[in-house]
Amino acid sequence: MLNADRQREVEQATDAFIVRAETLFGLRLPPVTVRFDLKGRAAGMFRVRHGNPEIRYNPWVFARWYADNLAETVPHEVAHYVVSRLHRRRTKPHGPEWRAVMQAFGVAPRVTCGYRPEDVADLPRRRMREHAYACGCMQHRLSSIRHNRIRRGKASYHCRKCRRPLRPVAAKE
Residues in Cβ contact with 157 at an 8 Å cutoff, skipping those fewer than 6 apart: 133, 140, 142, 146, 150, 165, 166
- 3-class secondary structure per residue, 51-104: CEEEEEECHHHHHHCHHHHHHHHHHHHHHHHHHHHHCCCCCCCCCHHHHHHHHH
Residue 130 falls in the annotated catalytic set:
no
Catalytic choice (9, 54, 77, 118): 77
Catalytic residues: 77
